[in-house]
Amino acid sequence: MIRKVVYGILIFLGVGLFLFYVLQERFIFLNGKKLSKDYVYQFPQAFEEVNITAKDQQTINGLHFQLENPKGIVLFFHGNKGNLERWGKIVPYLLAYDYEVLVVDYRSYGKSTGKFHQEKMYQDALDVYDYVKNQFSESQIVVYGRSLGAAFSAYVGANRNPKHIVLEAPFYNLKKAVHNYFPLAPTFLLKYSFPTNEILPNVNAPVTFFHGDEDGVTSFEESKELFQLTTSKQKEFVTISGGTHHNLKDFDVYQKKMRGLLE
């Protein structure tokens, strides 16, 4: 009987580990439904749909929200949940700061092609930045990353020279982020690490963190730990008292800081 119980537990654990490994993309990348190439985006603001060719010839789909006389452009890397159908409704608030906005879908999100792959996704971020750099000088480019997007924002900052890097509700690295949700998760099986803690010390551009102290998705305390690794000569951690993972843009302190860095 004891042997059967032990065998049963081992089989259960084995199946659980197998499912965690093969299904991890479904938990990490909540990309929602794929969008057909013919899908027509509809937003009230003026925008252009763009398709950027990645290094490996995959297509990175984006939305470029435009202004007549912009001060510059915000390159926005969104969170892990949803595609541009959702994020195209969220990011236009940045237009109020007189900056255009380019937001892109990661490979396999929305209309973007390709399969999930950490190093290729990092390269995609650089390819998108270089696309923007053909239209704006680096002194006009602010790279903004929200949640998962902060991993790509930091990576761009470590490899390019934008005006400013903004990290909203970043996580320290993926292993810590997963443990924050599931303390017993077998993170040794993760195919992705997104080690922002290792990348951030290589960022020389000015860096601003925004994090709500009531964030239930990414750890506020681990974000402060990440900030301590920032070696940029111009850096600031902005605590949003009462802020959650989704409402920071509504706070006066956020708006005041954004107006200052987007001068």
pLDDT digits (tens, 9 = 90+) for 164-184: 999 999 999 999 999 887 888
| Per-residue pLDDT at 25 | 92
Kindly tell me if the per-residue pLDDT of 106 is higher than 70. yes
Give the tokens for residue 26: 């479904």
Model confidence band, residue 10 (pLDDT cutoffs 50, 70, 90): low
* Extents of the domains making up the chain: 43-261
pLDDT in tens, 216-229: 999 999 999 999 99
| Per-residue pLDDT at 81 | 95
Share above pLDDT 70 across residues of the chain, in percent, rounded to a whole number: 94
Kindly tell me if the per-residue pLDDT of 47 is higher than 90. yes
Smallest CA-to-CA distance from 28 within 174, 203, 231 is with 174
Give ∠ CA 247-47-98 in degrees, rounded to 5.
Answer: 60
Helix (H) or strand (E) holding 181: helix 174-181
C-beta separation of 228 from 207 below 8 A? no
- Give the C-alpha distances (Å, rounded to integers) separating 257 from 34, 210, 248: 36, 10, 12
Would you identify the CATH topology of the domain 43-261? Answer: Rossmann fold (3.40.50)
Alpha-carbon distance of 77 to 91, in angstroms, equals 10
* Per-residue DSSP letter, 65: E
pLDDT in tens, 135-144: 999 999 999 9
Smallest CA-to-CA distance from 160 within 196, 121, 199, 104 is with 199
| Per-residue pLDDT at 31 | 82
pLDDT in tens, 49-60: 999 999 999 999
Kindly tell me if the per-residue pLDDT of 8 is higher than 70. no
